């Protein structure tokens, strides 16, 4: 979990909602992709709880899966993975991941958040 430390501000997009019940998780990824493409902010994405299902490329139950199909390729160009709650039971349900991800503990999440100037929660 090594990210370059620079003077560029950091933003955490923390997604917790169920992407099969709400369009907000897909919208969170779309926002992260848009802000990160600007390359003026280091955008980190952390998926927790049922939001881990966003990573499953083949999950047909996702609300706004078409938004994810456009946003994940942009996010994959970031110089770091999407971070995922290592204790999430939904990790076992992911078939084909949409992009690389890294499992991290709650302690590592707190370390990342402490480096961020903004945290958006969805």
Q: With a cut of 70, say whether residue 6 has pLDDT above it.
A: no
Distance between CA atoms of 67 and 72, rounded to whole angstroms? 9
Partnered with residue 118 across adjacent β-strands are 11
**Domains recognised in the chain with CATH numbers:** 14-121 (3.40.1260.10)
Distance between CA atoms of 115 and 106, rounded to whole angstroms? 15
**pLDDT one-digit tens code per residue, 46-81:** 999 999 999 999 999 999 999 999 999 999 999 899
Distance between CA atoms of 49 and 70, rounded to whole angstroms? 23
Q: What angle do CA 21, 112, 71 make, to 5 degrees?
A: 45
pTM of the model: 0.92
Q: Are 11 and 44 in contact (CB under 8 A)?
A: yes
Q: With a cut of 90, say whether residue 1 has pLDDT above it.
A: no
> Within its chain, how far is the Cα of 52 from the centroid?
8
């Amino acid at each position: 979990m090594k990210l370059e430390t620079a003077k560029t501000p950091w933003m955490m997009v923390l997604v917790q909602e169920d992407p099969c019940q709400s369009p907000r998780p897909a919208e969170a990824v779309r926002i992260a992709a848009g802000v990160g493409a600007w390359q003026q902010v280091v955008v980190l994405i952390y998926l927790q709880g049922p939001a881990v299902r966003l990573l499953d490329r083949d999950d047909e139950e996702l609300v706004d899966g078409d938004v994810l199909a456009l946003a994940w390729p942009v996010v994959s160009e970031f110089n770091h993975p999407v971070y995922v709650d290592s204790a999430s039971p939904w990790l076992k349900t992911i078939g084909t991941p949409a992009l690389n991800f890294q499992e991290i503990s709650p302690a590592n999440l707190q370390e990342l958040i402490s480096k961020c100037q903004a945290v958006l929660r969805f």
